[in-house]
Amino acid sequence: MLGVQCKMARAALGLTVRALAGLAGVSHDTIVRLEAGEELKPRTVEAIQHALEAAGVEFIPENGGGPGVRLRKTSVDIK
């Protein structure tokens, strides 16, 4: 997960930096550093990514169009 993907995911979910930090069990400053492009320990990035995925985000890998995020479809069938 890239810092820009973290920022996009937060925006899609309407989460503040502090809210995401709480969900991921990391400090506010850690989220800020990730989104600024600093390299973090892999386990820290994984914790943040797992928190965002649990909240409903899917990460899209680089596939020619650049990495990104999207909200997961709900399984609710609306008729």
Cβ proximity of 44 and 35 under 8 Å: no
Please, what is the Cα angle at 37 between 31 and 42, to 5 degrees?
Answer: 65
Instruction: State yes or no: pLDDT of 76 exceeds 70.
Output: no
Domain 3-71 indexed as CATH 1.10.260.40: yes
Cα 69 to Cα 8: distance, rounded to the nearest angstrom: 7
Q: Which of 77, 61, 60, 79 is nearest to 69 (CA)?
A: 60
Give per-residue pLDDT as tens, 10-59. Answer: 999 999 999 999 999 999 999 999 999 999 999 999 999 999 999 999 99
Instruction: State yes or no: pLDDT of 63 exceeds 60.
Output: yes
How many alpha carbons lie under 13 Å from residue 5 in its C-beta half-sphere? 21
Q: What is the pLDDT of residue 71?
A: 93
Between these two residues, 50 and 77, which has the higher pLDDT value? Answer: 50
